[in-house]
Structure 1
Amino acid sequence: MIDFRYHLVSLISVFLALAVGVVLGAGPLQNSLGTALNDQVTSLRADRNEIKTRLEQTEAAVNDRDAYIAAAAGAYLPGTLTGRKVVLVVLPEAQGGDIDLVTTQLETAGATVVGRVSLTTVWADSARETFRSTYSGQFAGYLSAPASNDTNAVLGQGLATALTTSGQNATALSDLLTASSTPLMTIDAAPTGPADCLVVIGPRTTVVPGTAPSPAPTGGTTPGAWNSALGGAASAGPTVVLGAADVSTDLVAQLRVSKTAVTTVDSVGQAAAATSVPLALASTIAGTRGAYGFDDGADAVMPPVPGRG
C-alpha cells in the first residue's frame, strides 16, 4: 500500500511546479514570449503589405500591357481581313467575354462576323461514340469527298461545309448538325450567308489559386475527339482555333501534340491572343498554317502582319 508520505510529496511537487510556472510566466518568459509573438505579427503584416503592393503593381502592368496591345492592334489590324466573312464556332465552356473580345478584333481587321454557332459536348462524349460513328455515314453523302475515314473528322468536315457553302448540301448538313434533342450544334446567331472561314473559340484552363494549372473535369468525355473534328473542319476551309495550352489536356495543347493540321492560338482570354486571331486567320487564308502564342508548341509569339513580313 502506498504510504501517505508519498502522496504528500507528490502533491507538494505538483504545487511547486505550478508555482514555478506562474512565476516564470509572469516574469522573464512573459516578456520573451510576448516579444516573439509581436515580432511574428509585425513580420506577417509586412509580408502581407509587400504582397499586396506587388499584386497592385502586377495588375497595373497587365492593364498597361493590354492598353498598349489594343492601341497597337488599332494601328496594324485594319485592312487585314477586309471583305472576309467569318463564322464563330464556340466550344463548350468558352467564356462570353473571350468571344466578345475576338469579335471586336475581327471587326477591327475589317471582317464581318456573319453568324455564330455553339458545338455541344456530344462531339466528345465517350458514351456517344457509337452514335457519332453511325451518324457520320449520313454526312458523307453530302460531302464532295470525305477527307478522312475518321468519324469525328467527317463530322468536322460537315460542320465547315455547312457554314462555308450554300445550296442543298449545306442545308442538309446544317439540319443534321442541329437535329434531335441532343444536337451536335446549336445556332446562336443564324448565319446570313456562307462564310469564308471559321474561328473556333475554346475554353480557358481552370486554375485553382495556389496550385498548378489544371483542366476542368471532363467526366465521361474524350478530349482528343476534338482533334479529329477540328482537323476535319480545317480540311474544308480556313480555320483558326483559339484556346488554352497551359496543361497537356488543354484543347490547343492536344491539337499541337497530335500535329493536327489547323492553325492554333493559345492563351485565350488575353488581349494578345485575341489580337493574334485576325492575323492568324489572314495567314491561314493565304495558305500558311501556324501555332502562335506563349505556350509549348508555338512557332512564334504572334503571326506575321500582312505586308510587313
Structure 2
Amino acid sequence: MIDFRYHLVSIIAVFLALTVGLALGTTMLQDPLLNTLQSETADLRGQSEELRLERDASERVNEGADELSEAAAQDLLEDRLQGLGVAVVVAPGAEEDMATALAARVEEAGGEVVGRISFTEEFPDEANAAFVDELAVQVSAEAEEMDGGAYVKSATLIGGALARSGGDEESDDERDVGRGRESSDGEEGSDDGEGSDGGGGVDPAAVLAAYSEADLLAVEGDPAGAADAVLVVAPAVDGVEGDPERTNTVVATVASTLSEQVGPTVLAGDMRSGRDEGLIAQVRVHEPDYATVDVAGRPMGDIVTVLALADSLEGGGAAYGVGEGVEGFLPSPLPGPLSAGPQESGGDEEASARPDDEARRAASGE
C-alpha cells in the first residue's frame, strides 16, 4: 500500500536527478560545449571579416576601374557614334540618373541625342491594355491589320515615328559606307526604308503627341523622324510601382519592336537587372536581335553600353557585362570610329574600310 513515505522518496529522487543533471551540465559538459561554441563563433567572425575585406577590396577595384574608364573615355568613345541620331527610351521604373549619364556618353562619342521618350507607369498597366490598343488604331488605321497585341502595335507606331526619315542629308547608305560596310547597291546595310513614315503615312510627331497626350509617355526634344539607333534604359529591379513581371514583358516587347523599326538597339541596365528577376536576364534567355548590357549605372558600364551600341551598327546583337550568357564584358574587338560619310573615303569602299580595321586592331591591342 502506497503511503506518505513512498511519495516522499519519489520526490527526493526526482530532485536528486535534477541536481545531478545540473551538476553535470555546469561542470563536466560545460567546458567542451562552450569551447565548441566559442570556436565556431570565432570561425564565423573570421569568415565575416574576410568577406568584408574582400568586399571592400572589390569596391576599391571597381572605383579604380571607373577612374581608369573616365581617363580613357575620350580615346575609347571618340567618333564611335559620329553623326548618329540616338533616341533614349526610358522604361517605367528606370533610374533617371542612369538615363542622363548614358545620354551624356552618347554625345561624348559624337552621337546626337535627338530626344528622350519616357514611358509612364500607365503604359504597361494591365487595366490600360484595351485603351493602348484602341489608341494605336486611332493613330493609324493600319494598326488594326498589324499582327501582335496592343503593345506590339503601339511600339511599331512609336518606332516608325522615331526612325530617321528618308530625306535626311546623310542617308543610311552613307552611314554604312562610313563604317566600312557596303551600300544598298551591294545589298548589305540596306533597311529598305522601313519605319520612315511613322506608320501608314501618319505624321511622326503626331504619333508621339497622341501617346504623350494620353499620359502613356513623355517626350523631350524632337525625336520624330530623327533616330538612327535606340538606347533603352531597363527598369530597376525594385523601381517598378506596379506589376514588375508585366512591366518587364511590355518593355521587352517595346525594345524588340523598336529594334525592328529603327535599327541598332541596346537595352541597358545595372548588374541586378542581369540576374534572376531582372529584365535583361529574362530577355537574354530568348537571345534577342538587339544588344544587352548589364553593367550600366557606373562610368565603366556606361562606356561599355555606348561601345555596344557602336558595335551593333554592324548588325545583330550581343550580350555584354557580367551576367549569365554574356559574350564578354565589352565588345571585342572594339568598334572603330564612325566616319562622317563616303566623301571622306575618296569614294573607295575598300579604302574607307581599311582605317576602320586599323583602328579596331589598335584599340584591341593586336
TM normalised by structure 2 equals: 0.67
CA gap 1:301/1:59 in 2 versus in 1, 3 angstroms: closer
| Equivalent position of 1:274 in the other structure | 302
Is 1:224 paired with 2:249? yes
- Residue aligned with 1:121, SS: coil
Please identify, of 254-263 and 41-50, the stretch whose mean Cα deviation from structure 2 is larger. Answer: 254-263
Percent identical residues? 29
Equivalent residue number for residue 76 of structure 2: 76
Aligned to 2:319: 292
- State the 1:170 CA deviation: 2.0
Structure 2 residue 222 is the aligned partner of structure 1 residue 201? no
Alignment match, 1:159 = 158
Distance change in 2, residues 1:179/1:14 (3 Å):
same
Q: Distance in 2 between the 1:26 and 1:227 partners? A: 64
Q: Structure 1 residue 301: deviation in Å? A: 3.9
Are 2:209 and 1:175 equivalent residues in the alignment?
yes
Cα–Cα, structure 1 residues 281 and 41, in superposed 2: closer, same or farther, change >3 Å?
A: closer
For 2:260 and 2:204, the matched residues in 1 are separated by 16
Q: Give the AA of the match of 1:290.
A: G
Q: Is the 8 A contact 2:318 2:327 kept in 1?
A: yes
Report the CA distance between 1:206 and its aligned residue. 5.0
Gaps of 5+ in 1: 208-214
> Distance in 2 between the 1:105 and 1:45 partners?
43
The 1:267/1:218 distance shift into structure 2, 3 A limit, reads farther
Q: What are the ranges of 5 or more consecutive residues in structure 2 without an aligned counterpart?
A: 166-197, 337-355, 362-366
Q: Which has the higher contact order (CA 8 A, sep 6+)?
A: 2
- Pairwise CA distance, 1:68: 3.3
Per-residue deviation, 1:219: 6.0
Residue in 2 that maps onto 1:53: 53
Tell me whether 73-82 or 148-157 shows the greater mean CA deviation.
Answer: 148-157
2:268 to 230, 242, 259: 242
Matching residue within 286, 291, 296 for 1:263: 291
Which piece of structure 1 moves more, 230-239 or 2-11? 230-239
SS of structure 2 residue aligned to 1:89: strand
| Equivalence for 1:12 | 12
Deviations along 1:15-64, one digit per CA (max 9) or x if unpaired, are 32244345445544444444344334333332322222222222223223
Q: Paired residue for 2:335?
A: 305
Per the TM alignment, residue 280 of structure 1 is displaced from its structure 2 partner at its CA by 2.7
1:127 corresponding residue in structure 2:
127
Instruction: Using the TM superposition, give the Cα deviation of residue 242 of structure 1 relative to its aligned residue in structure 2, in angstroms.
Output: 1.6
| 1:110 partner SS | coil
* Partner Cα distance (1:44, 1:264) in 2: 39
- Per the TM alignment, residue 83 of structure 1 is displaced from its structure 2 partner at its CA by 2.7
Q: Decide whether the 8 Å contact of 2:94 with 2:236 is kept in 1.
A: yes
Distance 1:179 1:165, change over 3 A: farther
The residue aligned with 2:222 is 191
Closer, same or farther: CA 291–18 of 1 in aligned 2, 3 Å? same
C-alpha displacement at 1:155, in angstroms?
Answer: 1.4
Q: Paired residues, what number?
A: 295
Query: Which deviates more from structure 2 when the two are superposed, residues 254-263 or residues 105-114?
Result: 254-263
Alpha-carbon contact 1:290-1:299 (below 8 Å) kept: no
1:282/1:175 CA distance change after superposition, 3 Å? same
Contact 2:319 2:326 in 1 (8 A): yes
Tell me if the contact between 1:78 and 1:109 (Cα under 8 Å) persists in the aligned partners.
yes
Q: Contact 1:127/1:220 (CA < 8 Å) preserved in 2?
A: no
**Structure 2 counterparts to residues 31-42 of structure 1, below 5 A:** 31-42=31-42
Q: Output the CA distance in 2 between the equivalents of 1:158 and 1:250.
A: 27
TM-fit CA distance, 1:178: 0.9
Deviation of 1:258 after TM superposition, in Å, equals 4.3
Deviation, 1:222, is: 6.2
CA distance in 2, matches of 1:216, 1:246: 20
- Judged with a 3 Å threshold, the aligned counterparts in structure 2 of structure 1 residues 2 and 66 are, in CA distance, closer, same or farther, namely farther
Q: Give 1:185 deviation, angstroms.
A: 0.6
In structure 2, distance between residues paired with 1:44 and 1:241: 41
Deviation at 1:260, TM superposition (A): 4.6
Contact 1:91 1:119 in 2 (8 A): yes
